[in-house]
Amino acid sequence: MDNKNNPAYSRTDNSKVVLKEDEWKNILSPEVYYISRQKGTERPYTSKFENFKEIGTYYCGACGNPLFKSDTKFDAGCGWPSFYEPISKSSIIYLPDNTLGMKRTEVECGRCKGHLGHVFEDGPPPTGLRYCINGVVLDFEKAQAAEKKYEDDKSKVKSQNSKGSE
């Protein structure tokens, strides 16, 4: 996912993102905008992450908020990437969704309030939950790349701190 022109995208900033809809429309691709901001749904079995097996972290494609670790992903057979647990309680916002004559729980990104999908109580242990997520609004970073970036960022902070104490 290309996020170079998205000033709201950050994998390290956890402050809330509040933008006007026209701002979102200008920085997100039409597909991500439709799902994230208009509560759309991608067609089942079309996500590149549906059968994806890489090890790493899934992020919100609109703002970069860490959402799920790959070791919580499982094959639910529902047509969308499914996870049994978010990275943290603050990663996700839960809202009642009674549209289309159904009682469901919508999940939004905890940072930008973008629509991600829904959570159902038919998942595997240990949570019994199935977070059914639109793959279009997911971004992914392999574990090795994430680890290297973490170490690089840690080194930068350490060198900045040592410069500040001189």
- CA 39 to CA 17: how far, in whole Å? 17
Token pair, residue 165, equals 């104490």
- CA 146 to CA 106: how far, in whole Å? 28
Contact 135, 83 (CB under 8 A): no
Catalytic residues: 132
Whether the upstream peptide bond of residue 126 has omega within 30° of 0, thus cis, is yes
- CA–chain centroid gap for 133, Å, is 9
Which long-range contacts (C-beta less than 8 Å, at least 24 apart) are formed by 85-89? 85/126, 85/127, 85/129, 85/131, 86/131, 87/57
Token pair, residue 105, equals 């729980």
Amino acid residing at 96: P
